[in-house]
Structure 1
Amino acid sequence: MPRSNHRSNARKPPRGTLARYRERIVEVLGEARGQRVMIRSVHSDGAERLTAVKLVNLLPLDSQLF
């Protein structure tokens, strides 16, 4: 019998979804390899960056942004 992983049923968020990654609010751009998604974020220096991050490191936003 295969071991169950509690995150195996986690679904990748649809493109355009806003989420929290570390201290930043990010936009999900789409699926990358394996359990990773591509995100777009704006860093403290004002530069916009595209990054592949693990799905488990993305957190849903709270009900209030500001």
Structure 2
Amino acid sequence: MSITQQYLLDTYRAQQLGEPAPPAPGAHEWQVAREWRDYRQFLAVLAERPAHGRIRLARGRWLRPRSRSTC
């Protein structure tokens, strides 16, 4: 059974029982993505790492590696 079929079945059952319809599949995906991003930033702060710009800093280290001195 696909997600769409399950949603339609749940909607039909809710209508028959006089209950509110369930949220459509994918209705809260952006909210979940934002909460996941905020949680990752929170973990970064707890680990005393920069919470913003980590990808940019890592890309900069990869593109411009430090020259090693042979002293």
Choose between structure 1 and 2: higher strand proportion: 1
State the TM-score bracket (shorter-chain normalisation): under 0.3
If you compute each CA radius of gyration, which structure gives the higher value, 1 or 2? 2
Higher relative contact order (CA 8 A, sep 6+): 1
